[in-house]
Amino acid sequence: MFGWIKSSAGLAKVKLRGRDRVDAAFMLALAAYNLIRLPKLLMVPL
pLDDT in tens, the chain (46 residues): 778 888 888 888 888 899 999 999 999 999 999 999 998 888 877 6
Backbone angles phi, psi at 41, to 5 degrees: -75, -30
Please state, in angstroms and rounded to a whole number, the distance separating the CA atoms of residues 20 and 24: 6
* Domain ranges, ordered by start, for the chain: 2-42
Contact between 1 and 33 under an 8 Å Cβ cutoff? The reply is: yes
Task: Provide the residue count of the chain.
Answer: 46
Query: Which one-letter DSSP state was computed for residue 9?
Result: S
Quote the pTM value. 0.74
pLDDT number for residue 3: 83
pLDDT number for residue 27: 93
